[in-house]
Structure 1
Amino acid sequence: MKFYWNIVTVAFLLLLSQSGLAQVGHLTTPSSVTDSVFPLMAWDYVNTEKVLDDMQQCGINLVAFVEPDFLDACHKYGIRGVIYDEELSGVIFSSYNSSTANPVIERLIATYNDHPALYGYHLKDEPHTEELPELAKSIELVKKLAPGKWPYVNLFPTQIFGENYESHLDQFGTICKPTAYSYDNYVEDYVVGDGQPSFFWKNLEQVRSASLKYELPFWNCILTAPHWDYSLVTDANLRIRIFASLVYGAKGLAYYKFISASLPILSAPDLGNFRGGPLDQFGERTPTWDLLRNMNRQIQNIGKALLKLRSVEVYHFGSIPEGCRGVMDHCLLKNVPYGEFVAGDFIHEDGSNWVMIVNKSLEKSHPVMPELRDGTKKIKMQSAWKGELEDFNNYFWLAPGQGVLLKLE
C-alpha cells in the first residue's frame, strides 16, 4: 500500500545515500505461483460485477482484495482473487499478529482453498522488519495447508529503509521464507544522468538481486492511479514502468490502483486527489483504461515466453544510474547505439538465449540496432502485436519507454 511511505518520502529523498549492488553471479529458475498466462493484478478492492467486467476487458486477470463470497463472480469473468478478510489483514497501520491471523487463515483455507478463482491469501501490505517473525508463522501455515497458493505480502520501497533495505529484503527471505517478492515504488526518477542516483532503478536492482539469491520470482506494483503530486499516466511513463520491470525479470505486475478512489477497506484514509486511473470516481473508463488495455495485450503476447525465461544479467547503455551496471564481457550484446537503453539477458527453459531491450527515453523514439557478441547468431522478435516469433530487422524503432523481446538463434 501506499500511504505511509509517501508521507516520509520527501525527507528521505534529501537524506538517503545510494550504494552500488554487487553483481549477481548465478542463475535461478523462479517457480511462479500459478501461472500459464502472465499475471496482471489490479491492486484494488472489487465487489461489483460491473468493475470485474471492466477489469476483464482491460486485460486484468487477478485482483488483490476479494472477499471470499465474491470468488464466484471472479470465476465468472475469468479473474482470480487474493482473499481479503479484515480479521486477517487488519488495518493499514496495525502490527501483524499471527495468533489473531492464523485461526482466520485456517478457517479460510478450510472453506475456500479449492475454489477455482482463488489465487492466495492477503496477509499484509508493507510490513516493517519487526513484523517479519509474526508474518513468517502465517506464511508457513499457508504453505503447509494450501500449497501453491500465495501468502501475499507486499513490501515497502527502498527509500523507506535507506541503507537497511537490502537487509530488510534478506530478512524477508530468510525469516519468512516467502513464495515470491512483491514491492511498490512510485518515484518517477526514470531518467537520470550517468552515475546519478535513481530510486526507481535502484529498487529494481535490489529486488532482482534478492529474488535471485532466494530463487524466488518477483512482482512490481506500479502506479496507475496518480494521487498527491504524482504525474498523470501517459503512454510513455506507463511503458517504462512495465518494460523496466520485465527487463529486470519480473514474473508478475500489479497496478495501483484500478479505480481512482481510496480503498474502502483497511481503514484506508481518503487521499483526496486520485485522478486518471483506469476507472474514475464514478466508475467510468478513462484514457488510462485504453492505455493499460493496450499494454496488457502486449504483455500477454510476449508473456508466455517471459514466464519460461530466467534472468541472467541486466545492463545499461548510455547513462548508467548509480548502483546499476553497464555492458560486460559476458553479456549477449556488445552495444545498442543511438539512444539510452537497458538490456536484459535471459535463458529459456529450452536452453535458448533471449534478450530484452528497453528505450529509457520518455520523449524520443530510437532505432534498435543491437550488436551481438556472437555475430553468427540470427535475431528473431517475439512480436508484442501478433504474439508470434518473426524476423527482426534494423529498421525497427522503439517508442519512448517501449521494450522488445528478442530470441537469438
Structure 2
Amino acid sequence: MRRRFRLASLVLMMTVAASLAAARAEEPWKVGEPIVAYWAGPGFPGGGPLDDAAADRIAAGGWNLAWCSSVEELDVAHRHGLRGLLSDPVIVPASLEDDGRREALAALIERVREHPAMYAYHLVDEPSAGAFPALGKLVAFLRERDPAHLAYINLLPTYADNEQLGVEGPIVQAYEEHLRRFVEVVRPAMLSYDHYQFRRGDDAPDYFLNLALVRKQALESDLPFLNIVQASSWVPGTAASPSSPRVPGPEEMRFLVYTTLAYGAQGISYYVYQYPKHDGGMIDPDGQPSPRYRAVETLNREFVAIARELQPLRSLAVYHAGMTPPGAVPLPAEEPFRLDPPIAPEEFKPGDRARGILIGLFGPAGEGASHAMVVNLDYKADRTTTLVAPAPLEVYDAITGQWTPAQASRVELHLPGGGGKLVRLAPPTAAR
C-alpha cells in the first residue's frame, strides 16, 4: 500500500510539474532578469561549443544569456544557471516556404519550448527593411507555438547607409523610419541594435544619437531594448587606419555599461566574447580572461542590479550637462534634479571624447521622476559632482544591493571615469 501511495504521489508531482511547465510555456515573454549577453563566442556559429568549461567561465563573469546550437547545449546552460539563446539553421523565414523545413521548425520548437534554460530564438542579424515582412511571419509562427520565448532580431546602427537600412532620407529620418517599420511589420517583443564607436584615431560621434533614437522607439512601442557594445577590434594592426576600430579598455567598458543604463536599456551585449580574427574581446589568445573580462565581471553584476531596480519604472528623460553630442538633450535649468554647481556648456566637435555628466530620470508611469542615474561621461578621469533633488535622497550600492540614506536633498557623488550612481527620492517611510 505504501509503495502504491509513493508511486501515486510521484506521478502526481510529475504531472503537476509538467502542468506548471506547460502553463509557463503559454505565458507571453518577459525580460525577467535583465539581460547580459555576448556576440560571437561559445555556442555561437563558428565560435566553438558551449561546453561546461566555457559555460562556467561565462557564468563566473556575470553573463546570464549564452548562445546554444542544440538541446545538449541548452542542457549545459541550465547546469550553470544560464539562459539559452538558440541558433539553428531552420530558424529562418525560408523554412515557412517549404513543407519539410516548416515541419522541422515546428518540431524544434516542440523540443525546446519547455526546456528550463530556453530563453530566445535567434532569427537574423541586421536585416534590411525589405526583409521585415518575411521576418514578421516567422515571428508570428514562433509566437503562436511558443509565446513564452523571445524571437530575437538585432538591428543595424545609425551609421548603416540607406541601402543597408532599406529606407530613404537623411540619417535621423531614415533610421527612425527603419525602426518604425520594424516595430509595425515584425511586431517584436524587444528592440536590439549594435553600435561601435571607438576608433583608433578618435570616437565616432553618433553613439548617443543611436541610443536616443532606439530609446524613443522603445518608449513609443512599450518595448524593452538591448544595446550591443564594442569590446574588440576586427581590423588587424598592420591594416589599421585612424578610422579603424580600436580595442576598448576597462574604463571604456564602464562607460558603455553605465550610459546604456542611463538611457533605460534592460539588456547589454558585447561584441565579441572570443572569436577568430578579432583583437580584444573577453578572452585573450592564450585562453585567459582579458582586461575587459576582469572589468565586466563586476560591471555585469552592477548592470543587472541597477536594471532590476529600474525595471518597474519608465525612462522619463535623459539629459547631458556640459558637452552635448548629436542626439543629446541639454539639462534644463528648471529641472528639479540638478547639479550644484552647474556644469557650463561645452562645444562638441566630431571626434571628441565624451565629457560632462549624464542624468537619466526614471519614475512610475504617469508620475514624476523618482530615480536618477548619474554618469561621468569622461571615461579617462574620475569626477565628483553634487546632485540636488526636490526631496531627501538615497544612494544605491550596486554591489550590495542596498539603499543608503543621503540625509538630505543633495548628495555628493564620486564617480570613476565612465562610471555612475543610481539615486532615488527616499520613500515616505524612509523620509520619516
TM range (shorter): 0.7 to 0.9
Name 1:277's counterpart in structure 2: 281
User: Residue type of the partner of 2:403?
Assistant: L
1:68, 1:84 within 8 Å by CA — same for their partners in 2?
no
1:301, 1:386 within 8 Å by CA — same for their partners in 2?
no
Name 1:254's counterpart in structure 2: 269
**Equivalents in 1 of 2:75, 2:318: separation in Å?**
41
**Equivalents in 1 of 2:334, 2:405: separation in Å?**
25
Equivalent in 65, 69, 72 of residue 72 of structure 2: 69
Name 1:320's counterpart in structure 2: 324
Q: Which moved more, 1:274-283 or 1:236-245?
A: 274-283
Name 2:119's counterpart in structure 1: 119
Q: Are residues 319 and 102 of structure 1, via their aligned partners in 2, closer, same or farther at CA, if it must alter by over 3 Å?
A: farther
Name 1:365's counterpart in structure 2: 382
Superposition pairs for residues 75-90 of structure 1, below 5 Å? 75-89=78-92
Aligned: 1:288 with 2:303: no
Q: Cα distance, 1:283 vs. partner?
A: 3.0
User: Residue type of the partner of 2:251?
Assistant: A
Aligned: 1:237 with 2:252: yes
Name 1:384's counterpart in structure 2: 398
Q: Cα distance, 1:350 vs. partner?
A: 11
Deviations 1:239-285 (Å, cap 9, x if unpaired)?
111111110000111112211x24xxxxxxxxx2x122211244322
Aligned: 1:164 with 2:179: no
**Equivalents in 2 of 1:330, 1:87: separation in Å?**
54
**Equivalents in 2 of 1:335, 1:96: separation in Å?**
54
**Equivalents in 1 of 2:333, 2:105: separation in Å?**
49
Q: Cα distance, 1:67 vs. partner?
A: 2.6
Q: Are residues 350 and 206 of structure 1, via their aligned partners in 2, closer, same or farther at CA, if it must alter by over 3 Å?
A: closer
Name 1:99's counterpart in structure 2: 97
Name 2:133's counterpart in structure 1: 133
User: Residue type of the partner of 2:216?
Assistant: S
Equivalent in 27, 32, 35 of residue 39 of structure 1: 35
Deviations 1:288-321 (Å, cap 9, x if unpaired)?
2111101112223323202222101111101111
Deviations 1:126-182 (Å, cap 9, x if unpaired)?
001100000000111122111121000000001114341110000001001100000
2:124, 2:153 within 8 Å by CA — same for their partners in 1?
yes
Q: Which moved more, 1:308-317 or 1:160-169?
A: 160-169
Deviations 1:173-204 (Å, cap 9, x if unpaired)?
10011000000000138xx99xxx82101000
Q: What stretches of structure 2 of length at least 5 have no aligned partner?
A: 1-26, 44-48, 162-170, 236-243, 344-354, 427-432
* Structure 2 residue matching 1:111: 3-state secondary structure: helix
Aligned: 1:355 with 2:372: yes
User: Residue type of the partner of 1:318?
Assistant: G
2:258, 2:420 within 8 Å by CA — same for their partners in 1?
yes
Q: Cα distance, 1:379 vs. partner?
A: 1.0
* Structure 2 residue matching 1:369: 3-state secondary structure: strand
What is the TM-score of this pair, normalised by structure 2? 0.76
Name 2:19's counterpart in structure 1: none
User: Residue type of the partner of 1:379?
Assistant: L
* Structure 1 residue matching 2:232: 3-state secondary structure: coil
Q: Are residues 283 and 33 of structure 1, via their aligned partners in 2, closer, same or farther at CA, if it must alter by over 3 Å?
A: farther
Q: Which moved more, 1:115-124 or 1:347-356?
A: 347-356
Q: Are residues 390 and 143 of structure 1, via their aligned partners in 2, closer, same or farther at CA, if it must alter by over 3 Å?
A: same
When Rg is computed on C-alpha atoms for both structures, the one with the higher figure is: 2
Q: What stretches of structure 1 of length at least 5 have no aligned partner?
A: 1-30, 90-94, 263-271
* Structure 2 residue matching 1:156: 3-state secondary structure: coil
What is the TM-score of this pair, normalised by structure 1? 0.80
Identical counterparts, % of pairs:
26
Q: Are residues 102 and 366 of structure 1, via their aligned partners in 2, closer, same or farther at CA, if it must alter by over 3 Å?
A: farther
**Equivalents in 2 of 1:312, 1:288: separation in Å?**
31
User: Residue type of the partner of 2:394?
Assistant: K
Aligned: 1:400 with 2:398: no
2:413, 2:421 within 8 Å by CA — same for their partners in 1?
no
**Equivalents in 2 of 1:403, 1:84: separation in Å?**
35
1:98, 1:135 within 8 Å by CA — same for their partners in 2?
no
* Structure 1 residue matching 2:156: 3-state secondary structure: coil
User: Residue type of the partner of 1:381?
Assistant: V
**Equivalents in 2 of 1:140, 1:328: separation in Å?**
43
Q: Cα distance, 1:37 vs. partner?
A: 2.5
In the TM superposition, structure 1's runs of 4+ consecutive aligned residues that sit over 6 Å from their partners are 349-352
User: Residue type of the partner of 1:299?
Assistant: F
Deviations 1:218-248 (Å, cap 9, x if unpaired)?
1001122332232223222101111111100
**Equivalents in 2 of 1:104, 1:326: separation in Å?**
53
Q: Are residues 97 and 165 of structure 1, via their aligned partners in 2, closer, same or farther at CA, if it must alter by over 3 Å?
A: farther
Name 1:59's counterpart in structure 2: 62
**Equivalents in 2 of 1:128, 1:74: separation in Å?**
32
Name 2:212's counterpart in structure 1: 205
Equivalent in 361, 368, 371 of residue 345 of structure 1: 361
